[in-house]
Amino acid sequence: MRKIKIFDTTLRDGEQSPGCSMNLSEKIVMAKQLDKLGVDIIEAGFAIASPMDFKSVQAIAGAASNCVIASLARCNKLDIDTAWEAVKEAAKPRIHVFIATSDVHMQYKLRMSREEVLKTISEMTAYAKSKCDDIEFSAEDASRSDKEFLAQAFSNAIAAGATTINVPDTVGYSTPQEMAELITYLKEHVKGIENVDISVHCHNDLGMGVANSLACVKAGATQVECTVNGIGERAGNSSLEEIAMALKTRRDFYEADTNINTREIYKSSRLLSNITGVPIAPTKPIVGANAFAHEAGIHQHGMITNAQTYEIMNPDEIGVPHRALVLGKHSGKHALRERLESMGYEIPDEELEDIFMRFKKLADQKKTITSSDLEALTLYRSKITKSEEGISSPSCQLISHSITSGSNIPKISYVKIKRADNVMEGVESGAGPLDAAFKAINKMLGIDTRLEDFSIRAVTEGEDSIGEAVVKISSSATGETYTGTGISTDIVEASLQAYLSGINKMFEAGE
Tell me, what's the pLDDT at 295? 46
Q: Which one is predicted more confidently, 365 or 253? A: 253
Residue 305: pLDDT band with limits 50, 70, 90: low
**Residue 296 pLDDT more than 60?**
no
Q: Which one is predicted more confidently, 304 or 430? A: 430
Comparing CA positions, the residue from 249, 228, 232, 258 lying closest to residue 240 is 228
Give the mean model confidence (pLDDT) for residues 124-149.
98
pTM: 0.81
Pairwise CA distance, residues 300 & 73, whole Å? 52
Q: What percent of the chain has pLDDT over 90?
A: 64
Contact (CB, 8 A) for 260 and 38:
yes
Q: Where are the beta strands (DSSP E) in 179-253?
A: 197-202, 223-226
Q: What is the pLDDT of residues 410-448, one digit of tens each?
A: 999 999 999 988 999 999 999 999 999 999 999 999 999
Tell me, what's the pLDDT at 367? 67
**Residue 82 pLDDT more than 60?**
yes
Cβ contacts of residue 276 below 8 Å, gap of 6+? 19, 20, 21, 22, 231, 483
Tell me, what's the pLDDT at 300? 46
Give the mean model confidence (pLDDT) for residues 94-103.
98
Contact (CB, 8 A) for 210 and 239:
yes
Give the mean model confidence (pLDDT) for residues 3-30.
91
Give the mean model confidence (pLDDT) for residues 455-471.
83
Contact (CB, 8 A) for 363 and 331:
yes
Give the mean model confidence (pLDDT) for residues 92-98.
98
Residue 389: pLDDT band with limits 50, 70, 90: very low
Q: Which one is predicted more confidently, 471 or 304? A: 471
- Which range of 5-19, 199-213, 272-286 scores highest in mean pLDDT? It is 199-213
Average pLDDT, the chain: 89
**Residue 30 pLDDT more than 90?**
yes
Position 292: which residue type?
F
**Residue 326 pLDDT more than 80?**
no
Q: What is the DSSP string of 449-464?
A: EEEEEEEEEE-S-STT
Contact (CB, 8 A) for 274 and 229:
no
**Residue 184 pLDDT more than 70?**
yes
Cβ contacts of residue 60 below 8 Å, gap of 6+? 11, 27, 28, 31, 42, 44, 45, 69
Half-sphere exposure of 447 (CA within 13 A, CB side): 22
**Residue 325 pLDDT more than 70?**
no
- Partnered with residue 2 across adjacent β-strands are 256
Contact (CB, 8 A) for 95 and 87:
yes
Comparing CA positions, the residue from 399, 439, 436, 434 lying closest to residue 419 is 399
Pairwise CA distance, residues 453 & 303, whole Å? 40
Residue 347: pLDDT band with limits 50, 70, 90: confident
Q: Which one is predicted more confidently, 25 or 43? A: 43
- Partnered with residue 453 across adjacent β-strands are 472
Q: What percent of the chain has pLDDT over 70?
A: 92
Helix (H) or strand (E) holding 335: helix 333-342
Tell me, what's the pLDDT at 391? 40
